[in-house]
Amino acid sequence: MKATYKKHILNFKRPSGTSRGVITEKETWFLLLEDNGKIGVGECGLLRGLSVDDRPDYEEKLQWVCQNIHLGKDNLWNELLEFPSLQFGVEMAFVSLEAETPFKLFPSDFIKGKEAITINGLVWMGEEAFMKQQIEEKLDDGFTCIKLKIGAIDFQQELDLLAFIRKHFDEKTIEIRVDANGAFSPDEALEKLQLLSKYQLHSIEQPIKAGQFEAMRELCQQTPFPIALDEELIGVFTYEDKVKLLETIRPQYIILKPSFIGGIKGSLEWIEIAEKRNIGWWMTSALESNVGLNAIAQFTYTLNNKMPQGLGTGGLYTNNFDCPLEIRKGQLVYNTDLNWNFEI
Protein backbone atom coordinates (compact mmCIF):
# COMPACT_ATOMS: atom_id res chain seq x y z
CA MET A 1 0.00 0.00 0.00
CA LYS A 2 1.23 3.47 -0.93
CA ALA A 3 0.25 6.61 1.00
CA THR A 4 0.82 10.23 -0.02
CA TYR A 5 -0.60 13.55 1.09
CA LYS A 6 -1.37 16.90 -0.49
CA LYS A 7 -2.22 20.35 0.88
CA HIS A 8 -5.16 22.24 -0.63
CA ILE A 9 -6.34 25.82 -0.06
CA LEU A 10 -10.10 26.47 -0.05
CA ASN A 11 -11.22 30.04 -0.86
CA PHE A 12 -14.34 31.48 0.79
CA LYS A 13 -16.96 33.09 -1.46
CA ARG A 14 -17.24 35.87 1.10
CA PRO A 15 -15.00 36.66 4.08
CA SER A 16 -16.35 34.61 6.98
CA GLY A 17 -16.44 36.09 10.46
CA THR A 18 -15.64 33.70 13.29
CA SER A 19 -14.82 34.11 16.98
CA ARG A 20 -11.19 34.08 15.81
CA GLY A 21 -11.57 36.94 13.34
CA VAL A 22 -12.35 37.10 9.64
CA ILE A 23 -11.02 34.35 7.37
CA THR A 24 -10.84 34.40 3.57
CA GLU A 25 -9.26 30.98 3.00
CA LYS A 26 -8.82 27.66 4.75
CA GLU A 27 -6.13 25.06 4.30
CA THR A 28 -6.96 21.39 4.30
CA TRP A 29 -4.89 18.24 3.74
CA PHE A 30 -5.72 15.08 1.81
CA LEU A 31 -4.39 11.63 2.60
CA LEU A 32 -4.33 9.47 -0.55
CA LEU A 33 -4.02 5.68 -0.42
CA GLU A 34 -3.31 3.33 -3.35
CA ASP A 35 -3.52 -0.45 -3.15
CA ASN A 36 -4.04 -3.01 -5.92
CA GLY A 37 -5.41 -0.42 -8.33
CA LYS A 38 -7.89 1.03 -5.81
CA ILE A 39 -7.66 4.47 -4.23
CA GLY A 40 -8.77 5.85 -0.89
CA VAL A 41 -9.23 9.54 -0.08
CA GLY A 42 -9.28 11.03 3.41
CA GLU A 43 -9.50 14.69 4.39
CA CYS A 44 -7.58 15.99 7.40
CA GLY A 45 -9.66 19.08 8.15
CA LEU A 46 -7.35 21.27 10.20
CA LEU A 47 -8.82 24.64 11.27
CA ARG A 48 -6.03 27.03 12.23
CA GLY A 49 -6.56 28.76 15.56
CA LEU A 50 -9.17 26.30 16.81
CA SER A 51 -8.11 22.70 16.12
CA VAL A 52 -6.14 21.25 19.03
CA ASP A 53 -3.73 19.79 16.46
CA ASP A 54 -2.86 23.21 15.02
CA ARG A 55 0.81 22.57 15.81
CA PRO A 56 4.15 23.24 14.09
CA ASP A 57 4.72 19.49 13.64
CA TYR A 58 1.39 18.84 11.87
CA GLU A 59 2.83 18.17 8.41
CA GLU A 60 5.66 16.16 9.94
CA LYS A 61 3.06 13.94 11.64
CA LEU A 62 1.23 13.52 8.33
CA GLN A 63 4.52 12.41 6.74
CA TRP A 64 4.91 9.92 9.60
CA VAL A 65 1.41 8.56 8.86
CA CYS A 66 2.35 7.97 5.21
CA GLN A 67 5.56 6.20 6.22
CA ASN A 68 3.71 4.00 8.73
CA ILE A 69 0.50 3.34 6.82
CA HIS A 70 1.21 -0.40 7.17
CA LEU A 71 0.20 -0.12 10.85
CA GLY A 72 -3.43 0.00 9.71
CA LYS A 73 -6.39 2.18 10.67
CA ASP A 74 -6.85 1.17 14.31
CA ASN A 75 -3.19 1.29 15.34
CA LEU A 76 -2.72 4.63 13.59
CA TRP A 77 -5.81 6.04 15.33
CA ASN A 78 -4.34 5.12 18.72
CA GLU A 79 -0.97 6.64 17.80
CA LEU A 80 -2.63 9.89 16.66
CA LEU A 81 -4.58 10.64 19.84
CA GLU A 82 -3.41 14.27 19.96
CA PHE A 83 -4.11 14.78 16.23
CA PRO A 84 -7.90 14.35 15.87
CA SER A 85 -8.09 15.70 12.31
CA LEU A 86 -5.44 13.18 11.24
CA GLN A 87 -7.38 10.42 13.03
CA PHE A 88 -10.44 11.31 10.95
CA GLY A 89 -8.42 11.57 7.73
CA VAL A 90 -6.92 8.12 8.32
CA GLU A 91 -10.32 6.56 9.10
CA MET A 92 -11.86 8.18 6.03
CA ALA A 93 -9.02 7.09 3.73
CA PHE A 94 -9.19 3.43 4.84
CA VAL A 95 -13.01 3.29 4.61
CA SER A 96 -12.74 4.94 1.17
CA LEU A 97 -10.15 2.40 0.02
CA GLU A 98 -12.35 -0.51 1.08
CA ALA A 99 -15.56 0.97 -0.37
CA GLU A 100 -17.15 0.17 -3.72
CA THR A 101 -16.14 3.65 -4.92
CA PRO A 102 -13.89 6.16 -3.09
CA PHE A 103 -16.76 8.46 -2.08
CA LYS A 104 -19.53 5.99 -1.18
CA LEU A 105 -18.30 5.27 2.31
CA PHE A 106 -21.38 4.13 4.25
CA PRO A 107 -24.00 2.27 2.17
CA SER A 108 -27.49 3.51 3.05
CA ASP A 109 -30.69 4.94 1.60
CA PHE A 110 -29.01 8.36 1.85
CA ILE A 111 -26.41 7.62 -0.85
CA LYS A 112 -29.08 5.84 -2.91
CA GLY A 113 -30.87 9.19 -3.04
CA LYS A 114 -33.93 7.77 -1.24
CA GLU A 115 -33.56 9.62 2.08
CA ALA A 116 -32.28 13.04 3.18
CA ILE A 117 -30.74 14.65 6.27
CA THR A 118 -32.53 17.62 7.86
CA ILE A 119 -30.08 20.49 8.44
CA ASN A 120 -30.13 23.94 10.02
CA GLY A 121 -29.68 27.10 7.98
CA LEU A 122 -27.06 29.66 8.98
CA VAL A 123 -28.28 33.26 9.31
CA TRP A 124 -25.80 36.12 9.62
CA MET A 125 -26.42 38.92 12.12
CA GLY A 126 -27.05 42.29 10.50
CA GLU A 127 -29.63 45.01 9.94
CA GLU A 128 -33.27 44.10 10.56
CA ALA A 129 -34.22 44.14 6.88
CA PHE A 130 -31.24 41.91 6.04
CA MET A 131 -32.14 39.46 8.83
CA LYS A 132 -35.80 39.31 7.76
CA GLN A 133 -34.74 38.74 4.15
CA GLN A 134 -32.40 35.89 5.13
CA ILE A 135 -35.02 34.16 7.28
CA GLU A 136 -37.71 34.50 4.60
CA GLU A 137 -35.28 32.97 2.11
CA LYS A 138 -34.55 30.10 4.51
CA LEU A 139 -38.29 29.48 5.01
CA ASP A 140 -38.85 29.59 1.25
CA ASP A 141 -36.01 27.08 0.92
CA GLY A 142 -37.78 24.74 3.34
CA PHE A 143 -35.68 25.23 6.48
CA THR A 144 -37.41 24.82 9.84
CA CYS A 145 -34.30 25.49 11.98
CA ILE A 146 -31.81 28.35 11.83
CA LYS A 147 -28.59 29.06 13.67
CA LEU A 148 -27.53 32.58 14.64
CA LYS A 149 -24.07 33.62 15.79
CA ILE A 150 -24.28 35.99 18.76
CA GLY A 151 -21.68 37.78 20.86
CA ALA A 152 -20.12 39.69 17.97
CA ILE A 153 -22.19 42.90 18.21
CA ASP A 154 -23.84 44.83 21.04
CA PHE A 155 -25.92 42.42 23.15
CA GLN A 156 -28.96 44.71 23.36
CA GLN A 157 -28.89 45.00 19.58
CA GLU A 158 -28.88 41.18 19.36
CA LEU A 159 -31.87 40.98 21.72
CA ASP A 160 -33.70 43.55 19.59
CA LEU A 161 -33.00 41.47 16.48
CA LEU A 162 -34.30 38.30 18.17
CA ALA A 163 -37.42 40.21 19.25
CA PHE A 164 -37.84 41.39 15.67
CA ILE A 165 -37.51 37.80 14.37
CA ARG A 166 -40.03 36.43 16.87
CA LYS A 167 -42.47 39.23 16.02
CA HIS A 168 -42.56 37.92 12.46
CA PHE A 169 -41.84 34.20 12.94
CA ASP A 170 -43.09 32.16 15.92
CA GLU A 171 -41.37 29.07 17.33
CA LYS A 172 -43.69 26.74 15.40
CA THR A 173 -42.54 28.36 12.17
CA ILE A 174 -38.81 28.43 12.85
CA GLU A 175 -36.58 26.84 15.51
CA ILE A 176 -33.72 29.13 16.55
CA ARG A 177 -30.35 27.96 17.84
CA VAL A 178 -27.79 30.54 18.91
CA ASP A 179 -24.02 30.14 19.15
CA ALA A 180 -22.09 32.43 21.49
CA ASN A 181 -18.63 30.92 20.79
CA GLY A 182 -17.74 31.55 24.45
CA ALA A 183 -18.51 35.28 24.24
CA PHE A 184 -20.11 35.69 27.71
CA SER A 185 -18.19 36.04 30.96
CA PRO A 186 -19.21 33.61 33.74
CA ASP A 187 -20.41 36.53 35.91
CA GLU A 188 -22.91 37.79 33.33
CA ALA A 189 -23.83 34.55 31.53
CA LEU A 190 -26.90 33.53 33.56
CA GLU A 191 -28.45 36.99 33.35
CA LYS A 192 -27.88 37.01 29.58
CA LEU A 193 -29.42 33.54 29.23
CA GLN A 194 -32.48 34.72 31.14
CA LEU A 195 -32.86 37.66 28.76
CA LEU A 196 -32.39 35.38 25.73
CA SER A 197 -34.95 32.86 27.03
CA LYS A 198 -37.79 35.30 26.26
CA TYR A 199 -37.39 34.45 22.58
CA GLN A 200 -38.19 30.71 22.70
CA LEU A 201 -34.74 29.52 21.67
CA HIS A 202 -33.97 25.84 21.15
CA SER A 203 -30.47 26.06 22.65
CA ILE A 204 -27.29 28.09 23.01
CA GLU A 205 -23.86 26.76 22.07
CA GLN A 206 -20.89 27.38 24.34
CA PRO A 207 -22.10 30.48 26.25
CA ILE A 208 -18.76 30.85 28.11
CA LYS A 209 -15.22 29.96 27.06
CA ALA A 210 -14.18 26.33 27.32
CA GLY A 211 -12.18 25.07 30.29
CA GLN A 212 -14.29 26.67 33.07
CA PHE A 213 -15.86 23.42 34.24
CA GLU A 214 -17.39 24.58 37.52
CA ALA A 215 -18.87 27.75 36.01
CA MET A 216 -20.27 25.78 33.06
CA ARG A 217 -21.70 23.11 35.37
CA GLU A 218 -23.53 25.75 37.43
CA LEU A 219 -24.78 27.39 34.26
CA CYS A 220 -26.13 24.08 32.92
CA GLN A 221 -27.94 23.51 36.24
CA GLN A 222 -29.52 26.98 36.33
CA THR A 223 -30.08 27.79 32.66
CA PRO A 224 -33.65 28.59 31.56
CA PHE A 225 -33.10 26.83 28.19
CA PRO A 226 -30.70 24.12 26.94
CA ILE A 227 -26.93 24.57 26.66
CA ALA A 228 -24.87 22.70 24.05
CA LEU A 229 -21.14 22.16 24.52
CA ASP A 230 -18.99 22.69 21.42
CA GLU A 231 -15.41 23.96 21.91
CA GLU A 232 -15.50 22.28 25.35
CA LEU A 233 -15.00 18.91 23.65
CA ILE A 234 -11.80 19.96 21.85
CA GLY A 235 -8.64 18.45 23.31
CA VAL A 236 -10.43 15.84 25.43
CA PHE A 237 -8.67 12.74 24.12
CA THR A 238 -9.28 9.69 26.32
CA TYR A 239 -12.54 7.87 26.99
CA GLU A 240 -12.04 8.44 30.73
CA ASP A 241 -11.62 12.19 30.27
CA LYS A 242 -14.77 12.34 28.12
CA VAL A 243 -16.73 10.61 30.88
CA LYS A 244 -15.29 12.99 33.47
CA LEU A 245 -16.20 16.08 31.41
CA LEU A 246 -19.83 15.07 30.87
CA GLU A 247 -20.21 13.82 34.45
CA THR A 248 -18.90 17.14 35.74
CA ILE A 249 -20.75 19.59 33.50
CA ARG A 250 -23.94 17.63 32.67
CA PRO A 251 -24.94 19.73 29.65
CA GLN A 252 -28.26 19.32 27.86
CA TYR A 253 -26.53 18.74 24.48
CA ILE A 254 -23.11 18.22 22.91
CA ILE A 255 -22.12 19.14 19.36
CA LEU A 256 -19.88 16.75 17.49
CA LYS A 257 -17.36 17.92 14.89
CA PRO A 258 -15.47 14.78 13.80
CA SER A 259 -12.41 16.72 12.58
CA PHE A 260 -12.02 18.20 16.07
CA ILE A 261 -12.75 15.14 18.20
CA GLY A 262 -11.09 12.12 16.58
CA GLY A 263 -13.34 11.30 13.66
CA ILE A 264 -15.70 8.34 13.60
CA LYS A 265 -14.39 6.47 16.64
CA GLY A 266 -14.06 9.67 18.69
CA SER A 267 -17.63 10.71 17.82
CA LEU A 268 -19.03 7.28 18.69
CA GLU A 269 -17.31 7.43 22.08
CA TRP A 270 -18.89 10.81 22.86
CA ILE A 271 -22.31 9.57 21.71
CA GLU A 272 -22.13 6.43 23.86
CA ILE A 273 -21.14 8.42 26.95
CA ALA A 274 -23.74 11.15 26.31
CA GLU A 275 -26.68 8.83 25.62
CA LYS A 276 -26.06 6.90 28.85
CA ARG A 277 -26.58 10.22 30.66
CA ASN A 278 -29.59 11.39 28.61
CA ILE A 279 -27.50 14.12 26.98
CA GLY A 280 -28.61 14.91 23.43
CA TRP A 281 -26.27 15.56 20.49
CA TRP A 282 -26.08 16.61 16.89
CA MET A 283 -23.34 16.54 14.28
CA THR A 284 -21.79 19.47 12.43
CA SER A 285 -19.05 19.97 9.90
CA ALA A 286 -16.00 22.13 10.64
CA LEU A 287 -15.53 23.89 7.30
CA GLU A 288 -14.18 20.81 5.52
CA SER A 289 -14.30 20.54 1.74
CA ASN A 290 -17.05 18.43 0.18
CA VAL A 291 -14.82 15.37 0.67
CA GLY A 292 -14.95 15.64 4.46
CA LEU A 293 -18.54 16.89 4.45
CA ASN A 294 -19.56 13.85 2.40
CA ALA A 295 -17.97 11.49 4.93
CA ILE A 296 -19.58 13.26 7.90
CA ALA A 297 -23.01 13.31 6.21
CA GLN A 298 -22.93 9.62 5.27
CA PHE A 299 -21.72 8.67 8.76
CA THR A 300 -24.35 10.88 10.42
CA TYR A 301 -27.20 9.32 8.44
CA THR A 302 -26.30 5.85 9.77
CA LEU A 303 -26.75 7.11 13.36
CA ASN A 304 -30.49 7.80 12.86
CA ASN A 305 -30.55 11.15 14.70
CA LYS A 306 -33.61 13.08 13.51
CA MET A 307 -32.56 16.50 14.85
CA PRO A 308 -31.43 19.14 12.32
CA GLN A 309 -27.70 18.67 11.75
CA GLY A 310 -25.10 21.37 11.00
CA LEU A 311 -24.11 20.11 7.56
CA GLY A 312 -24.95 23.00 5.24
CA THR A 313 -21.42 24.29 4.67
CA GLY A 314 -20.65 22.89 1.21
CA GLY A 315 -21.51 26.11 -0.61
CA LEU A 316 -19.07 28.36 1.27
CA TYR A 317 -16.13 28.01 -1.14
CA THR A 318 -15.41 29.14 -4.70
CA ASN A 319 -13.20 26.11 -5.38
CA ASN A 320 -14.92 23.24 -3.61
CA PHE A 321 -15.13 19.88 -5.40
CA ASP A 322 -18.19 19.12 -7.52
CA CYS A 323 -20.09 16.29 -5.88
CA PRO A 324 -23.58 14.76 -5.51
CA LEU A 325 -24.38 16.63 -2.25
CA GLU A 326 -27.15 19.22 -2.65
CA ILE A 327 -29.37 21.24 -0.31
CA ARG A 328 -33.07 20.98 -1.10
CA LYS A 329 -35.97 22.14 1.08
CA GLY A 330 -33.86 22.44 4.23
CA GLN A 331 -32.35 18.99 3.73
CA LEU A 332 -29.03 17.61 2.54
CA VAL A 333 -29.57 15.14 -0.29
CA TYR A 334 -27.29 12.88 -2.33
CA ASN A 335 -28.16 13.42 -6.00
CA THR A 336 -27.25 10.16 -7.72
CA ASP A 337 -27.38 11.91 -11.13
CA LEU A 338 -24.30 13.99 -10.23
CA ASN A 339 -20.69 12.82 -10.25
CA TRP A 340 -17.60 13.62 -8.23
CA ASN A 341 -14.89 15.83 -9.70
CA PHE A 342 -11.97 15.45 -7.30
CA GLU A 343 -8.79 16.94 -8.74
CA ILE A 344 -6.02 18.39 -6.59
- Digit-by-digit pLDDT tens for the chain (344 residues) are 999 999 999 999 987 765 556 789 999 999 999 999 999 999 999 999 899 999 999 999 999 999 999 999 999 999 999 999 999 999 999 999 999 999 999 999 999 999 999 999 988 777 778 878 888 899 899 999 999 988 877 899 899 989 989 999 999 999 999 999 899 999 999 999 999 999 999 999 999 999 999 999 999 999 999 999 999 999 999 999 999 999 999 999 999 999 999 999 999 999 999 999 999 999 999 999 999 999 999 999 999 999 999 999 889 999 999 999 999 999 999 999 999 999 88
User: Same domain for 79 and 174?
Assistant: no
> Quick check: 252 and 226 in contact, CB under 8 A?
yes
User: Same domain for 67 and 131?
Assistant: no
> Quick check: 82 and 61 in contact, CB under 8 A?
no
Residue 18 domain boundaries: 2-98
Domain boundary residue among 47, 64, 98? 98
257 is catalytic: yes
User: Same domain for 199 and 324?
Assistant: yes
In whole angstroms, give the CA distance from residue 283 to residue 181: 16
In whole angstroms, give the CA distance from residue 204 to residue 197: 10
User: Same domain for 89 and 145?
Assistant: no
The answer to whether residue 111 sits within a structural domain is no
As for how many domains the chain has, the answer is: 2
User: Same domain for 86 and 145?
Assistant: no
User: Same domain for 125 and 195?
Assistant: yes
User: Same domain for 51 and 178?
Assistant: no
In whole angstroms, give the CA distance from residue 131 to residue 146: 12
User: Same domain for 188 and 45?
Assistant: no
> Quick check: 311 and 300 in contact, CB under 8 A?
yes
329 is catalytic: no
User: Same domain for 226 and 311?
Assistant: yes
What residue spans of the chain are helical by DSSP H? 58-67, 73-79, 84-98, 128-140, 155-168, 186-196, 213-222, 239-249, 258-261, 263-276, 290-302
CATH code for the domain in which residue 297 is found: 3.20.20.120
Residue in 26, 104, 149, 209 annotated catalytic: 149
User: Same domain for 18 and 157?
Assistant: no
Task: Name the pTM for this structure.
Answer: 0.96
- Give the residue among 263, 287, 286 at the shortest CA–CA distance from 10: 287
Domain boundary residue among 64, 98, 132? 98
Question: Which neighbouring-strand residues pair with 28?
Answer: 8
